[in-house]
Amino acid sequence: MIEPLISPLLLDFSVVCLGIFLLMLDAFGEGLNKRVIGGICIAGLSLIFVGTLFAQPAPPAMESLGFYVTDPTAMFFKQFLLLATILTVAMAMDHAPVFLRLVPAATPQAGLGEFFTLPVFACAGMMWMVSAKDFIMIFVSLELVTVTFYVLVAMTRRSFGSLEAGVKYLILGALSTGFIVYGITWVFGITGQTNLEEIRKVLPTLPAASMPSLMFGLALIFVALGFKIAAFPFQFWVPDVYQGAPTPVTAFLSVASKAAGFVVLLRVLDAFLVMPVIREKVALVFTIVAAATLLYGNLAAMPQTNFKRLMAYSSVAHAGYLLIAVASIKASFAAPAMIYYLAGYLLMTYMAFIVVVLVAKTVGGDDISDFNGLARRSPGLALGMVVAMASLAGLPFTVGFLGKFFIFVAAFQDQQYLLIVLGAITVACGFYYYLKVVRAMYWQPSPEGAVAVEVSPLSKVLLILLSVGIFALGLFPQLIFSFFQ
């Protein structure tokens, strides 16, 4: 047996230590340019990301901690979350002028250090979430993430949209917390366990009379996770929060928080689907939820005129495609298809939001009409948005196309033909609303007095790397699948 070169647990603690160091630097670094904190944050997270390449997952039988797992899925998503946080902080550096204009402060750059640092703590919580195999651990890490997002969403206090988003997210986040705590209580009352592995062992020994109570507790947990992944009918917080939050926070919520929620959902399902009676009922419920989420997300996105609101409903639609894989969980290809889809979703979503940050900083808005004539003013930036929109819509040779294809393959394996037909129809809806942005950039005239959008060197590098990633994974999906062989 080969021992890990670096302990995965050490990497999680390193992220927390980095966040504490950055907060101390912000508090005591008088006269320090806050952008330095952003640069140190990116450098530190990049170093930890490199460390994950040398942290080999330990075999489950050798894991000594009862609440923590370091399987390939956990290690992949730790890297996923680190990359998402790096991209978020990089976007925040470009978004800084807009942020400072919307934050009342007695001193220059006040609040900017926290804006760069808080995503690090959210990342730490989500890294614990994807390794958690105990309900207590899941709850504690989930609360770290949620409380951090409460602050991030409402940081721009001069923006009424941000304040409204913060209040809505706080109220509904607290509600979802109540659901998960109550659900865990019911499950613990029936099984006497909070550890997912122990619950798996106990379930076959439970009397049939306890099944309704167990299903009730499990339903409460699924409701709470439905809030986190923006599944219908628990998605009503998404449009206002995504539109009102600072744009880098919107991207972070859309990608990282959703991915962590789906990993937790998979781990919970893996423990409970050992019972055939539970497996059949859960599959039926998620089939209905997936269909409703697909329809709602895609149909609601079609009339939108604000880009961030369009991406909010688009996020609900993508949750629907991922839920097709959850509904087809009996298929052997369901979990790999979901993981591949999430990897592609990170690339194409962040690419779109990087362009939005740059355009909004120059134009002052994030409506689709603010992109009018962008191809003539900044052709490179417009091309980047075209790549992102094409992939999100699912054009061939992009990661978005293969992501949807693999989801449909998993559904076909599980004979979910209705979801396949519904998914194919809603893909056509996606072409309509994503290509509205392309039409605005290439076919609409530029507003009078419009100027070229300034692109920072860091954003140029990120746009190029994300474009390469979208086509590379679209042509060579084994780059993701080989990680789990």
Which region among 207-211, 426-430, 466-470 has the lowest average model confidence (pLDDT)? 207-211
Is the sign of the CA dihedral 70, 76, 79, 83 positive or negative? negative
For 274-290, the three-class secondary structure string (H helix, E strand, C coil) is CCHHHHHHHHHHHHHHH
Q: What is the pLDDT of residue 163?
A: 86
Could you say which DSSP state residue 82 is in?
H
Taking only the tens place, the pLDDT of each residue in 388-399 is 999 999 898 999
Q: Which two tokens stand for residue 240?
A: 């206002």
The pLDDT of residue 2: 43
The one-letter amino acid code at 229 reads I
CA distance 443 to 440: 6
Q: What is the pLDDT of residue 405?
A: 93
Residue 469 is predicted with a pLDDT of: 92
Q: Which residue type does 315 have?
A: S
Residues above pLDDT 90, as percent of the chain:
34
Q: Would you say residue 158 has pLDDT above 90? A: no
pTM (2 d.p.)? 0.91
Q: Please give the DSSP secondary-structure letter assigned to residue 254.
A: I
Inform me whether the pLDDT recorded for 64 exceeds 60. Answer: no
Provide the 10 A C-beta neighbour count for residue 342: 23
Mean pLDDT of the region 210-234:
88
pLDDT at res. 62: 45
Q: What pLDDT is attached to residue 157?
A: 81
pLDDT at 483: 66
Higher model confidence: residue 331 or residue 117? 117
Cα pseudo-dihedral 389, 395, 400, 403, rounded to 10 = 160
pLDDT at 156 over 60: yes
* Integer Cα distance of 436 and 109 in angstroms: 36
List pLDDT tens digits, range 227-277: 888 888 888 888 889 988 899 999 999 999 899 999 999 888 888 887 878
* Structure tokens belonging to residue 394: 């699912």
Higher-pLDDT residue of 2 and 391 is: 391
Which residues, other chains included, contact 439 with Cβ-Cβ below 8 Å and sequence gap of 6+? none
The residue to which tokens 């917390």 are assigned: 177
Mean pLDDT of all residues in the chain? Answer: 87
Decide which of 183 and 1 is more confident.
Answer: 183
Query: pLDDT, tens digit, for every residue of 419-454?
Result: 999 998 999 888 889 989 999 899 988 777 777 788
